[in-house]
């Protein structure tokens, strides 16, 4: 991974991003939240045009006919009391002000664009020192920008946070005012290893949790308690994260099927509220509208055309079509947008 990161330049990062985004678009995805890490030259020196790599990624999404939330990552260290490794220097900035200036530059460049939003993304409590978190959150709030952050993805992250601050990651974010900083626009990516009271802190802040099931499975991260998150009122959405598997339907259904594995139950939730959604309808909304909202867009970004003649759907009663798509189909049934 680091060898690839060292090799990237504005042209190659744009080319690679466009391939990834076209694969997403072909699978029915209309909005991508791109957790953008690589900012500087290989030795860590900023480019003369500081945001040139971010702009290359944004333009790649536009060529693929995707809406994009460019989530400008803040990164400062390898871990507590450890400076960045040589291969991480492209990710790192001197202080939070440099991060926020880049966000402001990008927001000004794409002001008025209906297909681009810009957000702030402190990487994690491991890579961002506690002193950076409040300024970054305050900056996101001042700009009314989405605020995304890896949260409790792995046990080591929690152990390191306890050692440094005496608090678990969500407790620290709550104490610093980070969870409520963006008025319901905070997104906890992964949220794998939370205690029930931490899920409640996220719910009280009207936060999102972005679950990335195929990547979490690939990395052996563990299974989050989606029951605790749902019960706390946390809004769920999904991400592909690593692009190893690009099948949004697999990510959506895993919000239910992974929870069945964790709880040893056949059905793990009943949709709530006045809308009287079915499980398939709620999962579809979480995988579409909720994800777009988490990225700063007000709607799901357009219709998805489904090939009902595909063998996986050909014998399905039309009244059960959405159930069959969500629980039994793959991205193969999606007709490409172009």
Output the pLDDT for position 88: 94
CB 103 within 8 A of CB 121: no
Output the pLDDT for position 179: 94
CATH architecture, domain 2-333: Alpha-Beta Barrel (3.20)
Output the pLDDT for position 336: 76
CB 90 within 8 A of CB 41: yes
DSSP string for 287-308: HTHHHHHHTT-SS--S---B-T
- Give tens-digit pLDDT for 91-116: 999 999 999 999 999 999 999 999 99
CB 19 within 8 A of CB 72: no
At 273 the three-state DSSP class reads: coil
Rounded Cα–Cα distance for residues 36 and 328 (Å): 32
- Please report, for the chain, the start and end positions of each structural domain, with discontinuous segments joined by +: 2-333
Low-confidence ranges of the chain (pLDDT < 50): none
> What share of the chain in percent tops pLDDT 90?
93
pTM over 0.75: yes
> What is the β-pairing status of strands 31-36 and 208-211?
unpaired
The dihedrals phi and psi of 236, each to the nearest 5 degrees, come to -95, 145
Closest of 173, 215, 208 to residue 191, by C-alpha: 208
Output the pLDDT for position 214: 96
Rounded Cα–Cα distance for residues 19 and 64 (Å): 8
The structure tokens listed for 326 are 């969500």
The dihedrals phi and psi of 2, each to the nearest 5 degrees, come to -65, -35
Rounded Cα–Cα distance for residues 63 and 276 (Å): 38
R_g over Cα of the chain: 20
The structure tokens listed for 25 are 């678009």
Output the pLDDT for position 183: 74
Q: Which helix (H) or strand (E) holds 71?
A: strand 67-74
């Amino acid at each position: 991974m680091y060898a690839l990161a060292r090799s990237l330049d504005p042209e190659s990062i744009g080319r690679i991003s466009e391939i990834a985004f076209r694969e997403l678009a072909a699978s029915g995805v209309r909005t991508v939240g791109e957790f953008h890490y690589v900012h500087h030259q290989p030795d860590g020196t900023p480019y003369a045009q500081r945001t040139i790599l971010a702009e290359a990624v944004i333009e790649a999404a536009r060529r693929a006919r995707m809406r994009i939330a460019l989530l400008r990552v803040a990164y400062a260290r390898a871990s507590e009391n450890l400076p960045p490794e040589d291969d991480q220097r492209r990710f790192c900035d001197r202080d939070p002000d440099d991060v926020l200036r880049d966000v402001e530059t990008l927001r000004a460049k794409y002001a008025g664009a209906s297909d681009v939003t810009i957000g702030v993304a402190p990487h994690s409590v491991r890579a961002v020192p506690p002193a950076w978190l409040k300024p970054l959150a305050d900056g996101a709030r001042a700009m009314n920008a989405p605020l995304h952050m890896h949260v409790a993805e792995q046990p080591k992250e929690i152990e390191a946070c306890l050692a440094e601050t005496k608090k678990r990651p969500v407790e620290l974010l709550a104490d610093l005012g980070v969870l409520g900083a963006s008025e319901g626009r905070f997104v906890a990516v992964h949220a794998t290893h939370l205690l029930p009271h931490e899920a409640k802190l996220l719910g009280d802040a009207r936060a999102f949790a972005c679950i990335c099931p195929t990547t979490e499975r690939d990395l052996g991260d563990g299974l989050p308690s989606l029951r605790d998150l749902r019960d706390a009122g946390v809004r769920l959405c999904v991400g592909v994260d690593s692009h190893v598997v690009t099948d949004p339907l697999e990510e959506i259904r895993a919000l239910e099927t992974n929870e069945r594995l964790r709880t040893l139950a056949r059905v793990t939730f009943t949709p709530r509220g006045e809308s009287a959604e079915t499980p398939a309808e709620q999962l579809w909304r979480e995988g579409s509208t909720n994800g777009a909202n988490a990225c700063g867009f007000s709607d799901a970004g357009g219709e998805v055309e489904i090939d009902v003649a595909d063998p996986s759907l050909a014998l399905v009663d039309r009244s059960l079509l959405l159930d069959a798509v969500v629980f039994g189909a793959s991205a193969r049934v999606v007709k490409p947008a172009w």
